[in-house]
Each structure stands twice: as C-alpha cells, then as structure tokens.
Amino acid sequence: MKSTANFAEHPIHPMLIPYPFAFLSGALGFRLAAVAGGSESLEQTADHLRVAGLASAVVAAIPGVVDYFTVVPAGAPRQKATIHALSNSGALVCFTAAALAARQQGENGRRRVLGLEALGTVLLSVGGWLGGSLSYHHHIGVVEGTSAEELRGSTTEAALESRNVGP
C-alpha cells in the first residue's frame, strides 16, 4: 500500500521518525549521565534534546496521520496502527510531563523527570516496533509489485525506469 504522504515514492513518515526517537531517547541518556556525574551541562543538554524531540515528533506525526486515514486498511493493520499512534502519543505526553516536572526543585522533581522520560522511551520503543511491523508485515508504505531483485544492484535503474521514476 503506497503511502499517501510520500516524496518520489518514498513514504515521509519513516524518513522523519529517527529524529524524535534519537532526540528523546538521547534526552534520557544524557539525563542518566547527568545524574551519575552531577553535571549541570549534561542536564541542560538533556533538556534541549527533549525540546528538539518533542518538536520533531510533531513534524513526523503529520505524514503518519495522513497515512493512517488514507492507506491503513481496517482489521489487524488498523488496530496495530492505532496502538502505534497511542503508544507514540503516550510517549509524547510523558516527555511533556517530564518538562513540567523539571520545574520542581529537589530530588523528587529529578526522580519524576527520570521516571517519565524512561516510561516515554519504553513507549517510543513499543511504538517503533509496531511501526516496523506495519511496514514489514502489513506492507504499509510499501510500493506493491516491487521485487527484491528490482531493488538490488544493476537492476535498480531498470526497475525505476520501468516505473518512470528517476534514479
């Protein structure tokens, strides 16, 4: 099922999701390093990564929502896509709540931030796993009729030409 939100037949949503995942999970990693080393600069980097992750997640979600409503069929794929969306949305809620909790002073605020970011990272991982399943098992965003041979080696150019797509 070819993605509706695509550029040169490449689905946009999978192109964008590495950014929020890297930024948000990186925020947790830097936060853990900050706690372990007592570094204010690592704490600040974690805060910046969280902001970048939340912003890039909104951008990545837009083509995902377009595809959800235009190409995901009813049944198991729709159910899996819904859980994928809810898991990723839950992760964003966790990271947003962590940003709010960061305003609290003291050890309770820090623990709350860490817990929320850890839960958010777990939810992102579940959402990513489900997203991969949508692509690899349900072929969401995959151009039908493209064989592995067409995508490999010297036949790639011929396959692209046969579909009137430039290299």
Q: Which domains does the chain have, with CATH numbers?
A: 6-162 (1.20.120)
Distance of CA 85 to the CA centre of its chain: 10
| Neighbouring residues of 73: CB distance < 8 A, sequence distance ≥ 6 | 1
- pLDDT < 50 stretches in the chain: 154-156, 159, 166
Q: For position 154, what pLDDT does the model report?
A: 45
At 81-104, the pLDDT tens digits run: 999 999 999 999 999 999 999 887
Q: For position 57, what pLDDT does the model report?
A: 97
Task: Characterize the bridge pairing of strands 6-7 and 10-11.
Answer: antiparallel
At 98-123, the pLDDT tens digits run: 999 988 777 778 889 999 999 999 99
What H or E segment, with its residue span, contains residue 36? helix 18-37
Q: For position 152, what pLDDT does the model report?
A: 56
Q: For position 147, what pLDDT does the model report?
A: 58
| Neighbouring residues of 164: CB distance < 8 A, sequence distance ≥ 6 | none
Rounded Cα gap, residues 70 and 62, in angstroms: 12
What's the DSSP call for residue 142?
Answer: P
Q: Which long-range contacts (CB under 8 A, 24 or more apart) does 33-42 make?
A: 35/110, 35/114
Helical segments of 38-167, H only:
40-70, 76-101, 106-136, 148-151, 155-162
First to last CA, the chain: 21
Q: For position 163, what pLDDT does the model report?
A: 56
Q: For position 56, what pLDDT does the model report?
A: 98
